[in-house]
Structure 1
Amino acid sequence: MRYRRAWIGVFLFILAMINYMDRIALSIAAKPIAEEFHLSSVGMGYLFSSFIWSYALFLIPVGLLIDRYGAKRIGGLGILVWSTATALTGAASSFVTLMAARLVMGAGEAVSNPVGGKVIREWIPATERGTTTAVFNSGSYAGPAICSIVLAALVASLGWRWSFVIAGGIGAVWLLAWYCFYGKPEDVRWLSEQERAHILQHRDGEKGAATGKGYGLKKLLKTPTLWGLALTQGCNVYTQYLFLTWLPSYLQEARHLTLAKSGVVTAIPYAMAVVLCIGLGKLSDLYLKKGGGVSSGKRRNVIALSMLIASCILLIPFADSTFGLVAISSLTLAGIASTTSLNFSLLNDMLPSAGDVGRAVAFVVMGGNLFGMLAPVVTGYVIQASGGYNAAFIIAGSLLLVGAVIALTMTRKPMLPVANETKVPAPILLTK
């Protein structure tokens, strides 16, 4: 990224960081919460999963609202809702009120990825899309990296309730900055005319603009690429939520680490994922410049490679040292992070109409979270049935391998509904 549009990457990075700080807060405080409310591993699994239920339910409506009313208004409303719900989690007095707070939080968080996809499509030239999406998605890993250390210390010193109040309060600062500074590149005053012209000319391709009206979700659902992206996302997100919800408990119970040490060991892989995710996003942009342009769809090859890297989660049962565990977890999370960001980049690459971004991203994220909501619950049952975590890692690794195959076989064509192929030109290649 160049010039002032880099601030858009900063906005999105912090949005994702706050989003995932609030998500992992429950995982960090899982042990004292389970003890206070007398919850089993299965009960905790349902509690971990609960926010994903409402998150998935609201994704499509939120995507439609973003396409209609814009990212600024809907994004701001979403973070207000989820930050308030996170703070109120600290006042929960029973399992039911804990569950209710998490459900409201999930509904608010449904804005995050559709807003990110919409903002990137409006602001970022096509050849920078992979890098910017990687910056946005890497915030999802910076949040847990920071939160694992900071909230673990807060839980240990102030108790789990105050950790939620503080986590929820951070969103208010972002919300204020968002309403003060964000707007479309056509409208904001802090952008130079030269950069504004560059963004508007190149955000939909080098040789022309994509259609803006949109086909609508019903027609997009007839294209195999959208289903392929959603299934790839699902196979990937399953492992993401396994780590997000159960990794701290695994480290404390199976590896016998203290709360403070488990926070550090959790933070390191997430921090490594931030760096590697941005690096792979940049490499994917360079790869496409030399290999046929964004609409060639060749970004799918990097997605498959990232999922193969993530599948090293299969080796976790064989890690006999903390160093080995950290190394394997770092590679797994880096692969997952890169897959998510590249999958969203590929969606924008293969989607001709800018008017469909919010709903298309929402559908792909919903597909991912239908798998994701199973991960905490399935893992809870696996732990109860087997007395350990190894089978859970095998399930996750197998899904990643399946996802790599899906990415290579189902995302090969632009998302042009058959009835419109003769009326609307395909996305423009970027090669000369």
Structure 2
Amino acid sequence: MKIARRRWWIYLLLFVLVMINYMDRTALSVAVGPIQKELNLSSTQVGLMLSAFLWSYLLFLIPSGILTDRFGPRVVNAVSIVVWSLATMLVGIVRGFGGLIGARLLMGVGESSTYPAAGRVLREWAPASERGRAASIYNSGAYAGPALGAILAAALITSFGWQTMFVIMGALGFIWLGAWLIWFRDPSKATWLSGPERAMILEERKVPGEQPQEGKPKGGVLSLLRYRSMWGVALVQSAAVYTQYLFLTWLPGYLEQVHHLSIMKSGLFTAVPYIVAVLAGIGLGIVFDRRLKRHAQSTARRRYIVAACLLASSVVLLTPFFSDVTVILILISISMTCISTTVSMNLALLGDLLRSRHLAGRANSIAMIGGNTFGAAAPIVTGYIVDTTHSYNSAFVVAGIFLLAGVVVALTLPRHPIGDEESAHAHGFDDAIAAPVAQ
């Protein structure tokens, strides 16, 4: 009997959530030119402004993960999108460099729960055999957002100015909020699911060794940090997200300053690599799931895909050797697609390795801290490099080095299960003494 796939509506809701999240992040990147001119900011100040939301984002990731595991993703996502949508609107209302920094810090607080909550939804809703494609769908929102956001923000700035653009962009989150509150529940309580589909989700979301658990989740952040695999997933995120944020925050400015494109053209050209990453990323997620669905969960083989994607994404190292915009966009499109797939497969790998879905919020928070610690540095480091060298070439080289280092991490660290509190205390930090994992 063919089972319906209504659960894919949940994946779509997550995709739109992440897309709006990144549309709001991208808006400032597109508006950098007029804001920098109006406020007379240096490139270093612009880098600080672009990365400010990541400071509070990092600070609130662990609390957001704990709150997600305590209250569930339905409540946490609803509150968070209200906070960051209001913060985005404030960027267009406040005046001065300090006000912009403050609004961006508030935005980071709101956005901090998105991936921890999405990771918890992934463990609750996605059967193991489609965990990769579910992760690739919602993570593709991180690339659809900048693509659509760059075009929409550029059009709004051209027509109404950058202040009005931020107010309109921030208001979009409230539309998503209505759909989320109407449709999202735990699959055991979602009445719009058919009986067979609900039963299949509840059965297949389990992983080997998972024990039934009621009430508050057992274990915590420190117990998860006893596992090398947890550190491996977090470090892989750092390797990929550094380059992701280089593109997210500086690509429009790079196209304007180096290739002398208008704001509208830079918005359109910025969208190209992101559109490619969305389509190719989802396609690769489906392909890899079909290849790995029988073995990924028990063998951690998904890490080989993660390593291969990181290696392919390092083509960004070739960017300084070309001046043709078309060639550069091709290289960035390849790199961005592989980074998107890296992050999706890495989060799916975390789902494969994690032995308790009740700790998914915390585990995904740790992974996001790994990624965004380095991601927060990317705008600042890039701004400093541009100020001191008057070129973006060294910035692309630094990104490529991070990606190559991530290949080594992906192959060596995330290899063994990440257990609950009891198994964490039993095995200690060296999870290599845990039960051997077939290679």
Q: TM-score, normalised by structure 1?
A: 0.95
1:246 aligns with 2:250: yes
Where does residue 194 of structure 2 map in the other structure?
Answer: 192
Amino acid at match of 2:426: N
Alpha-carbon contact 2:296-2:302 (below 8 Å) kept:
no
Deviations 1:1-58 (A, max 9, x none): 9521010111000001000000000000000000111100000000001000000000
Where does residue 285 of structure 2 map in the other structure?
Answer: 281
Deviations 1:361-412 (A, max 9, x none): 0011011111011000011110011011000000000000000110110111
Where does residue 356 of structure 1 map in the other structure?
Answer: 359
Q: Distance in 2 between matches of 1:3 and 1:48?
A: 39
Where does residue 140 of structure 1 map in the other structure?
Answer: 142
Where does residue 180 of structure 1 map in the other structure?
Answer: 182
Alpha-carbon contact 1:352-1:427 (below 8 Å) kept:
no
1:317 aligns with 2:320: yes
1:60 aligns with 2:62: yes
1:308 aligns with 2:311: yes
Matches within 5 A, 1:11-410: 11-205=13-207, 209-212=210-213, 213-290=217-294, 292-410=295-413
Alpha-carbon contact 1:86-1:102 (below 8 Å) kept:
yes
Deviations 1:97-151 (A, max 9, x none): 0000000001000010011001111111111100000000001100111111111
Alpha-carbon contact 2:4-2:197 (below 8 Å) kept:
no
Residue 296 (structure 1) shift: 0.9
Over the aligned positions, Cα root-mean-square deviation in angstroms equals 1.8
Deviations 1:228-265 (A, max 9, x none): 11111011110011000000000000111111111111
Q: Distance in 2 between matches of 1:346 and 1:70?
A: 22
Residue 295 (structure 1) shift: 2.6
Q: Distance in 1 between matches of 2:210 and 2:425?
A: 21
Residue 219 (structure 1) shift: 1.2
Alpha-carbon contact 1:142-1:271 (below 8 Å) kept:
yes
Amino acid at match of 1:312: V
- Number of aligned residue pairs: 425
Q: Distance in 1 between matches of 2:169 and 2:182?
A: 22
- Which of residues 406, 426, 438 is equivalent to 1:420? 426
Amino acid at match of 2:326: F
Residues 209 and 160 (structure 1), Cα distance of their counterparts in 2 relative to 1, 3 Å cut: same
Amino acid at match of 1:45: G
Amino acid at match of 1:167: M
Residues 81 and 101 (structure 1), Cα distance of their counterparts in 2 relative to 1, 3 Å cut: same
Q: Distance in 2 between matches of 1:427 and 1:174?
A: 44
Residue 428 (structure 1) shift: 13
Alpha-carbon contact 1:308-1:401 (below 8 Å) kept:
yes
Residue 209 (structure 1) shift: 4.6
Alpha-carbon contact 1:151-1:163 (below 8 Å) kept:
yes
Q: Secondary structure at the match of 1:332?
A: helix
Amino acid at match of 1:230: A
Q: Which runs of 5+ in 1 are unaligned?
A: none
Q: Distance in 1 between matches of 2:394 and 2:331?
A: 16
What fraction of aligned residue pairs are identical, expressed as a percent? Answer: 46
Alpha-carbon contact 2:64-2:365 (below 8 Å) kept:
yes
Amino acid at match of 1:284: F
Residue 320 (structure 1) shift: 2.5
Q: Distance in 1 between matches of 2:227 and 2:160?
A: 52
Residue 208 (structure 1) shift: 7.2
Q: Which runs of 5+ in 2 are unaligned?
A: 429-433
Alpha-carbon contact 1:294-1:429 (below 8 Å) kept:
no
Q: Distance in 1 between matches of 2:390 and 2:324?
A: 20
Q: Secondary structure at the match of 1:254?
A: helix
Residues 357 and 427 (structure 1), Cα distance of their counterparts in 2 relative to 1, 3 Å cut: farther
Q: Distance in 1 between matches of 2:119 and 2:140?
A: 14
